[in-house]
Chain A
Amino acid sequence: MTIKYAIIIAEQVVKQFAKSRNTRGLFAFFIIFLGFALQIGVQEMLNHQELAEHYSQEVRQRWEANPDKHPHRMAHYGYVAFRQKFPLSFFDFGMDAYTGKSVFLEAHKQNTVNFSEAGHSSSLLRFGQISAAMILQILVPLFLFFLGYDLIAKEREQGILKLLFTQGISWQTLILGKTVGLFLASLFILLPTALFGLVLLLSNAFEMDILLRYGLLILAYTVYFFIISLMAVLVSAQSQTAKSSLMKLIGCWLFLILILPRIAQVTGQNVYPAPSKIEFDKNVEAELIKQGDSHNPDDLHYKAFKDSVMKAYGVDSTHKLPFNYSGLVMKEGEKLSAETYNRHQARLIEIYENQQNVLRLTAFFNPFIAVKNISMALTGTDFYTFNDFQAQAEKFRYQLAQTMNELQIKHISNRVKNSADKKAKLDRQEWVNFPDFKHHFLSIQSALDAEKVSFAALFFWIMLLFFPIRYANQWFKII
C-alpha cells in the first residue's frame, strides 16, 4: 500500500515538472550544456594526447639519432616524459589543469614536472572549468534544489498536506514519493549524459577497466543525485514556508560548495605545513653534501668506497680495475642521491596527503566533496594519478642514468681521459636498445583504495538521511 502511494506521488512530481514549460526548458538546457561540455572535454583530451604523442615521438627520434658517444653524455642529454591524459579525463578535468605536463629527465637531478595549464592561463581559470563533472557536481544540485524546495512546503502552505494525511498517507510515503519523483527527474539529465559519454568513450577506448570505472562513476553520480533529492525534500518538509525552504537550500548549497572546501583547505595547510621548493631543495642538498660528489672520483667522501673496491679486487690503483671506476662511483652516487630524493619526496607527498585528508574527511559533512574525490579518482585526474606519473618518470630517469653508468662500467676503459676521448665512444645502437618511456595508468583497484573514505562518506550520507524518514512522525509538523 505504502509503496503504491509512493509511486503515485513520485509520478505526480515528475508530471508536474513535465507540465511546466520553463522546467522543460531548463532540462533541455542542462542536457545540451552537458553534451557540449563532454564534446569540449573529448576535444581537449584528444588534442592533448595528440600533442603528447607527437612530442614523445619527437623526443624518441632525437634520442635515437644521437651519434656514437660516451654514455655519460647520453645520461645528461636525458629524456623528456610527457604525461598522458586518462581516457576518462574528458568527463572530469579534476586537477589536470594544475599539474605539470612534462618533465625533463637527466642524470643526478630530479626536475619538477612543468608546464601546467594553470601556469599558462589568465586569471579566468580560477572561475572554474566547464566539464561534465563540474555541471553535475555544482549546477545540477542547485537546479534540483530549485525544483524540490516547495515539494512539501508549498503543500503545507496551501493546506493540502493536512488533506493528504487524513487520507492515510504517512510521512514516510510522502517523503519517499517526493524524493523518488525528484530523483527520477534528475535521471532525465544524468542518463542522456551518461549515454552520450559512453558513446564518446567507446569511440576512443575499449578496455574493461575503463568501462568499469565509467559504470562506477555514473553510479556515484546517481547516488549523489539521490542524496541531493532527499536533502531538498527533507528541508522542504521541515520548512514552514516555501520561501524559507528555498533560502535554506541555497544557503546549504553555498556553504557546501563554495565555503566549506576552502575552509578545509586553509585548515589543512595550517595543520600540515608543507615545505616550499627552496626548503625542500635545501634539505635534500644538505644530505647530498654529506654523501659527496660522485662526479669527482677523487672526492674525499668516496675515498672509503674506493679503498674497499680496490681491496676487494686486490689492486693498488683504480686504473688497474677490470672495469670503469668512475662509472661505478657515479652508479653509487646516483643510487644514494635518488634514495635521498625519494625519501624526501615521499615525505612531501605524505604531507600533501594529510592536507587532502582534512578535505576528504569533510565528505562526512559534505556529499559534494565525496563525489568530487570519487569522480577525480575514477577519471584519472586526481592526485594519485599525477603522483604515479611522477614516480614512473623518476623510475625511468633512474633506469636511464644507471643503464648509462652500467655501459660506462662495462665498456669504457679506465685509461680514457674524458668523455671526448675517441675510445670513450659507444655505438649508437646502445641508445636504440634503451626502451622508450611509456606512461601507464593505475588500475581501478588503486583508485578505489584511494577513495575508500569518500565511498564510505556517500554510504554514510544515505544512512544519515534515512533517519529523518524513519522518525518523520516525531520530527516534522503537518501544519
Chain B
Amino acid sequence: MNITRLLFLNFIRAKGFIIALFVLVVASLLSLYIGKTFIEKHQKNIQKTAQAQQETIDRYVKFENKEMGLLLYYLKFGLVNEMPNLAGLSIGQRDINPSTMSVTIRNLEEQKYNTELHNPMYQLLGNMDFGFVLIYFFPLVIIAFCFNSLSEEKESGIWKLLCSQTDKPFLVIVQKIAIRWVIMEILLVVLLCIAQIYLQIPFNISWIIFGLVAFLYVLFWFALCTWIVSFQKNSNQNALLLLISWVLLTIVLPASANAFITNIYPTQEAFETLIESRDGYHKKWDLPKEPTLQKFKAHYPQFADFQHPENKDFSWLWYYAMQQMGDDEAQNAVKQFKNKLAKREELSKNIGYFFPTIHTQLVFNQVAQSDLDNQLKFWEALEQFHEKQKLHFYPKIFGDAPVLQENWQQWKLDFFKSQFQIHWAEKLLPILLMTIIFLILAMFQLRKIIV
C-alpha cells in the first residue's frame, strides 16, 4: 500500500496536475453557469408566452366578440415542450428548435415549423454546456495525465530499477493509472453534485443514467490510454497517437457520420409539405364549396349536421373546412418527412453504439430531452394539442355560439412532458463493452512487459 501512497503523492505534486485540474474545474463551472442561464431563459420565455396569450385573448374577446369564427382566426394557444433542468447540462438541439409553440386553430402545417429567432453564428459555434466539457475536455486531461505513465519511467531510467525490485512491474503502471482514474472520477462526481444542487436537478432515472454514462465515459478514456501506453512507445509517440484518437473520436468521425446520414436521408419532404399544405388550403377558395365540405365531413362525421348557408359566399364552416384541407392534403408528405427524421435519429443511435463520444452525446441529449427524438414527439404532441383545440371550438364556431359565454380564463398554456422508456442496457452496454475491450487488450499487452 505504501507504493500507492507514494505514487499518489508523486502525482499530485506534479506541476501540470494542478493547472490541468484547475482549467477543467473552471470550464465545468462556466458550463454550469451557461446551462443555468439557458434554463432561466426558457422559463422567462414561458412566462412571456403565457402573458402574451392572456393579453391577446383578453383583447380580441373584447373587440372581436361578434363571431366565434373570426375570433378564433386570431387567437393563439401555446404548448410548452417542458425542459427538464438536466437540459442545462446538455443543451443539445434545444437552442435550435423552439420549446414553446403558439398556434391558431387554422391549418397547423403552416405554423408547425416556425422557428425561434436566433443568431445563427452562435448556433454554429455551439454551446459550452457540461456535456461539451465532459466529452471534449475530460479526455484531453486524461490523455495529459496518462500518455507518459510508462514511457516517463523508462526515459528517466527508473523503470529498470523498478523491475529489479518487483516481479510484476506492470502492476505499478496499472496502479499509477488507477490513481489518476480515481482522482478524475472523484472530480466528476463532485462536479455532478455541484451541478445537481446549482441546477436543482431532480434525482431520477434520467439523472442516474446521465451520471453513469459520464462515469463510464471517463473510464473509457482511461482504458484507451492504458492500451496505447501498453505498447511501450516513447512519450512523443504516445501523445501523438492519443491526440489523433481524440481528434478522430470527437471531431472527424462524428462529423463524417453526420455527413453520411444527411446524405442518405435527404429531407426534400420538408418543401413538399410546405407546398402541399399551402395549395391544399388556398386553392379551395376558387373551387366549388361542396366537395371541400364533403371531405371535411368525411374527416369529422360528428359535424355532418352543420350546413353551409345556401346562397352565401362565405361561412366559417367552409373557411375552417378549407383550412383543414391544408393539413389533410399535406399528410402524406408530413408522414414521409417525419419518417425521414426518425430514420436519421435511428441511424445516429446505431452508429453511436460503436463510438463512445457519439453515444455519450446522444444519451445525454436523450435523457435531457434535447434531441431530435424529443422534437419529433413534441410535434406529435402539438398535433394532438391542435386537434383538441379544434374539436373544442369547431362546434361552437359552426353553431355560432356566443363568444362571451365561453370561459376564456381557462385557456392557459398547455405543457407537454415527453415520455420515454429507458433501456438500461442500451444506454450503458455499448460504452461499457468498448471500455472492457480496451482494458482487456491493455492487460494482455501489459502482461508481456518484462523489461
Contact = CB atoms under 8 A, between A and B. Distances in A.
Contacts of B235: 243
Most chain A CB atoms below 10 A, which of B52, B59, B110, B274: B274
B310 interface: no
A146 B240 contact: yes
A418 to B, nearest CB: 6
Interface string A44-76: 100100010001001100100011010001001
Interface of A is mostly: helix
A265 interface: yes
Interface in A108-165: 111-130, 134, 138-139, 142, 146
Contacts of A276: 41, 45, 48, 116-117
B254 A127 contact: yes
B215 to A, nearest CB: 20
Interface stretch (B161-169, B277-285, B403-411): B277-285
Contacts of B236: 242-243, 246
Interface string B180-210: 0000000000000000000000000000000
A375 interface: no
B344 A98 contact: no
B110 A104 contact: yes
B255 interface: yes
B92 interface: yes
B255 A127 contact: yes
A58 B121 CA distance: 32
A73 B322 CA distance: 14
A236 to B, nearest CB: 14
B96 A77 contact: no
Interface in B86-145: 92-93, 96-98, 100, 102, 110, 113-128, 132, 136-137, 140, 144
Interface string B211-234: 000000000000000000000000
B286 A73 contact: yes
A276 B124 CA distance: 18
A23 B212 CA distance: 40
Interface string B325-363: 000000000000000110011001001000001100110
A182 to B, nearest CB: 17
B266 A47 contact: yes
A278 B100 contact: yes
A420 interface: yes
Contacts of B271: 51, 55, 82, 101-102, 115
A114 B113 contact: yes
A395 interface: no
Given A104-B110, A116-B96, A259-B27, A124 B121 contact: no
A129 B255 contact: yes
Nearest to B33: A266
Given A55-B271, A127-B258, A134-B255, A44 B124 contact: no
Interface string A272-291: 00111111111000000100
A277 B362 contact: no
B345 A258 contact: no
A126 B100 contact: no
B365 A278 contact: no
Interface stretch (A170-178, A211-219, A351-359): A351-359
A106 to B, nearest CB: 9
Given A122-B362, A246-B239, A263-B128, A128 B117 contact: no
Contacts of B128: 259, 262-263, 265-266
A138 B267 contact: no
Nearest to A356: B121
A111 B114 contact: yes
B372 A118 contact: no
Interface stretch (B171-179, B244-252, B393-401, B437-445): B244-252
Contacts of A269: 119, 122
A394 B100 CA distance: 25
Contacts of B119: 269, 274, 352, 355-356, 383
A120 B362 contact: no
Nearest to B113: A114
Contacts of B4: none
Contacts of B117: 112, 274-277, 280, 348
Contacts of B420: none
A261 B125 contact: yes
B275 A117 contact: no
A443 B126 CA distance: 29
Contacts of B262: 44, 117, 121
Contacts of A254: 140
A386 interface: yes
A35 interface: no
A278 B48 contact: yes
Contacts of A116: 96, 115
Contacts of A234: none
A282 B93 CA distance: 25
Contacts of B275: 55, 58-59, 62, 80
Nearest to B42: A276
Nearest to B46: A278
A169 interface: no
Contacts of B116: 276-277
Interface-centre pick from B121, B128, B266, B340 (highest chain A CB count, 10 A): B121
Contacts of B113: 114-115, 119
B52 A282 contact: yes
B52 A268 contact: no
Given A130-B252, A268-B122, A383-B120, 17 more contacts: A47-B266, A69-B285, A73-B282, A98-B96, A115-B271, A123-B362, A123-B370, A124-B358, A124-B361, A126-B361, A130-B258, A139-B247, A246-B236, A258-B136, A269-B119, A355-B119, A421-B313
Q: Which 7 A-B pairs have the closest CB atoms?
A: A127-B254, A420-B313, A122-B348, A262-B128, A124-B258, A98-B120, A95-B120
Interface of A: 40, 43-44, 47, 51, 55, 58-59, 62, 66-67, 69, 73, 76-78, 80, 82, 94-95, 97-102, 104, 111-130, 134, 138-139, 142, 146, 242-243, 246-247, 250, 254, 258-259, 261-263, 265-266, 268-270, 274-282, 289, 348, 352, 355-356, 359, 383, 386, 417-421
